[in-house]
Amino acid sequence: MELCDVGDREAVDAMAARVLERHPAINLVVNNAGMPGRGTILTIEPELVRRVTEVNYLGGVWCTRAFLPGLRWAASAGGGAHVVNMVSVAGTVAGAAGAAYSASKHAQLAFSRSLASTLRGSGIAVHTILPGFVETEGFPQKGVLKSRLLARFVIEPPQVAETVLEAIEKGRSEVTVPWFPYRPVSVLQALAPGLVGRFAGMSGHRPGSV
């Protein structure tokens, strides 16, 4: 097992070099590291803004670049190569309460879409997964969401894992899970950002939650 701080580019490069020395062909890279960053952009600690950006956005950039030689090796060998970027619905919808987190996920979404365009035809498939609220140890949701309605749509990690496998098997490039209500809200954000912004302001996390 290799451990490293994905926000540290030099650490990622060193870790990838050790892995590639043992396994020169890499069939799958999953960029799943993430951390919360709750608070408005005016109240959140500046250091947390920097750290959230490093982990949630740049971590995926550094890991993808570092493992690209292994992905290309696997693609050329005909075994298939895939990059899965675990983004978030927060990458399509922005509210006041999670400004730094949402900004990092918007950046990650743009990175994932750009990467998919860049690698098209290379044999390396890029899959962008956009989960809604997921109940995990690092992101407890059910006990901290203000909106009882949104709490009904919190899902468990196995559902996300199944979505990832299905995306790889069926060649899906971008998937929102669950589709409802998150995908319609994402589309509405693009069409009527002011309306969604007011709703997002009423549906954040309870004060004091991290």
Tens digit of each residue's pLDDT (9 = 90 or more) over 37-70:
888 999 999 999 999 999 999 999 999 999 999 9
Q: Which of 151, 38, 178 lies closest to 95, judged by CA?
A: 38
Residue 96 has what pLDDT?
77
Provide the strand spans (E) within the chain.
Answer: 28-31, 81-86, 124-131, 174-177
Query: Mean pLDDT throughout 83-98?
Result: 90
* The total number of structural domains that make up the chain: 1
Alpha carbon distance 197, 179 (integer Å): 20
Q: Is residue 9 part of a domain?
A: no
Residue 210 has what pLDDT?
42
For residue 60, report the phi and psi dihedrals to the nearest 5 degrees. -70, -35
Residue 97 has what pLDDT?
79
Q: Is residue 63 part of a domain?
A: yes
Q: Is residue 125 part of a domain?
A: yes
What CATH number should be reported for the domain holding residue 73? 3.40.50.720
Q: CA separation (Å) from 117 to 40, 64, 95, 96, 122? A: 33, 14, 28, 31, 10
Q: Which residue do the tokens 């400004």 mark?
A: 99
The pLDDT confidence band at residue 138, using thresholds 50, 70 and 90, is confident
Q: Is residue 6 part of a domain?
A: no
Q: Is residue 40 part of a domain?
A: yes
Q: Is residue 64 part of a domain?
A: yes
Number of separate helices (H) and strands (E) present in the chain: 8, 4
pLDDT surpasses 80 at 205: no
Among residues of the chain, what percentage have pLDDT more than 70? 87
Query: Mean pLDDT throughout 183-196?
Result: 77
Q: Is residue 14 part of a domain?
A: no
Active site residues: 101
The pLDDT confidence band at residue 209, using thresholds 50, 70 and 90, is very low
SS3 content of the chain, % helix, strand, coil (to 5): 50, 15, 35
pLDDT surpasses 60 at 207: no
Q: Which domain holds residue 34?
A: 24-202
The pLDDT confidence band at residue 6, using thresholds 50, 70 and 90, is very high
The number of residues making up the chain comes to 210
Q: Is residue 124 part of a domain?
A: yes
Enter the pTM of the model.
Answer: 0.87
Average pLDDT of the residues of the chain = 89
